[in-house]
Chains A and B, each alone.
Chain A
Amino acid sequence: MNVQILKLLAKDARMSIADLATVTGLGEQEVSAEIKEMKDEGLIRGFRTVIDWEKLDEFYVSAMVEIKVTPKPGLGFEDIAKKIAKFHEVESVYLLSGDSDLCVIVKCKTFQDVSRFVAKELAVMESVTSTKTQFVMRRYKELDVDLEVTDPDERGVVSSC
């Protein structure tokens, strides 16, 4: 495991092997081997792009669904959480402290699709006692990226300070 490589890739997944080698001081082959190993270990799970979907006319709708569950003896929340995670519509599943038990981020084409999915699939699951669906109205920050900031560089071209 190489934490430095992880941190660099977390900031910029497109960083080339050559650049990673330059920054970490490792050889390119070593970097490739480290990355492969971390993928094999399941530490690196994917490389994604941060997109501001709202810039497009057709963007998807997401909702944060808080779910209360009656935990199963011996299985706790694991069983239900894993089942929920299998749905194509589900982007993330988290176990929470506090009032709700699970937080599920659901992503669909339309509001109706989200409602239908929650009603027909989530709410009726065995051991789910209640759901609270909150639609995402607007995204301000996604994966550390401030979606509000698009200001051009106003620093000028050259300076001596």
Chain B
Amino acid sequence: MLNYDRILNDTITEIQPSGIRKFFDIAATMHDVISLGVGEPDFPTPWKIRNAAIKSLERGKTGYSANRGLAELRREISYYLERKYSLVYHPQDEILITVGGSEAIDAALRSIINPGDEVIIPQPSYVCYVPMVQMAGGIPVITENKAENGFKLLAEELREKMTSKTKAVILPYPSNPTGAIMERADFEEIEQVIRDTDIMLLSDEIYSELTFNGKKHVSPASVGTLHERTVVVNGFSKAFSMTGWRLGYTCGPKEIITQITKLHQYSIMCAPTTSQYAAITALRDCDEEVAAMIEEYDTRRKLMVSGFNSIGLECREPEGAFYAFPSIKSTGMTSAEFCEKLLAAEKVAVVPGTAFGDSGEGYVRASYCYSTDHIRTAIERTGKFLRTL
């Protein structure tokens, strides 16, 4: 028999499977679970968008698109980014359509990382950044966002982690799992810290449509001089409820997008053409549908935050994405313990904060991509569980 240990790639084999895999596996086998565990919209994709995809199929638009993506879609993205976030990107050579935001993050990292380069990653954050940096040959450097700072990345914290090897900083805001957002002033301070360096910013803005309390999303690329050192990643999954369509995009200086395009063209060819036609309609005609979804998320957000606080789990108000991140420190349990026991006792599933980095200890992530009735039931049951402790 072959010795696979001698065959496999060292970098890949050394990447650790997620520490909470066990919990996920248990949860997946249970029935009748009231889950707050999924970070995926419960709304189907708006019908206009689905219909646009169907029409494109009927017209026989089933071939490859240009490597960079349909010119028409890149133009729409360019208009959309300017209209929404005052971002100026030229559709010809500063925008690339990718297979979800994930491909964009991966390719962007690979286009800039040389072996041994450090990439600063704020945590708690989405699980992909650390392994993606490692797979690109880089070294992840974790900075811990703190609850008392609203889980924002402070310029001061960033400065502490910067070395001569720092190549880039990931900016995952609005944040999965904390719901934190960064505001203009926050980025202005970061600008001060990195202005005399060559450090790049990789801004994952997949939740950019989902901000609350009247606060509009701010992209670092629209702040001061940061445009030239920012690569923006965004996509259709969360804002337009299009997770399964696998469609995202990345924008940045053409010097970088040109390199990312090489990676994309040789490993992917092009993003799914049907999804691209659908996305044109999403950007052009679906403001009202998106607004209705955001309004519904906002209702759920308020009910969830108030619900957790009312049963004794301290929960700050998230201002973006669709997650609440309550503290479970008052129970004296670890996040994993809490989640396992809550699941066993009341069949309620939430995700341990530690799934998003060690600094998530003491917290759990609860998604509000669920109906208000569902959220009420989950919180009632969680309250019942707390009373048995």
Mark A residues whose CB is within 8 Å of B.
Answer: 7-8, 11-12, 15, 19, 22-23, 149, 153, 155-161
Contact = CB atoms under 8 A, between A and B. Distances in A.
A22 B126 CA distance: 29
Nearest to A14: B373
B27 interface: yes
Nearest to A22: B306
Contact of A157 (B18, B35, B39, B306): B35
Contacts, number: 58
Given A8-B299, A23-B299, A158 B38 contact: yes
Which has the most chain B C-beta neighbours within 10 Å: A19, A158, A159? Answer: A158
Interface of B: 18, 23-24, 27-28, 30, 33, 35, 37-40, 42, 44, 126-127, 176, 295-296, 298-299, 302-303, 306, 349, 351, 355-356, 372
Given A157-B28, A160-B127, 18 more contacts: A12-B372, A19-B303, A153-B42, A155-B40, A156-B28, A156-B38, A157-B27, A157-B38, A158-B23, A158-B24, A158-B27, A158-B28, A158-B38, A158-B349, A159-B37, A161-B39, A161-B127, A161-B176
Contacts of A149: 44
B40 A158 contact: no
Contact of B126 (A153, A155, A156, A161): A161
- What are the 5 tightest A-B residue pairs by CB atom distance, in nearest-first order? A158-B37, A22-B306, A157-B27, A155-B38, A157-B35
B372 A158 contact: no
Nearest to B370: A153
Contacts of B176: 161
Nearest to A18: B306
B232 to A, nearest CB: 19
A157 B33 CA distance: 7
Contact of A160 (B33, B126, B302, B306): B126
Nearest to A24: B302
A159 B40 contact: yes
Contacts of A22: 302-303, 306
B363 to A, nearest CB: 14
A151 B349 CA distance: 21
Contacts of A155: 38, 40, 42
A16 to B, nearest CB: 9
A157 B126 contact: no
B126 to A, nearest CB: 7
Contacts of A15: 372
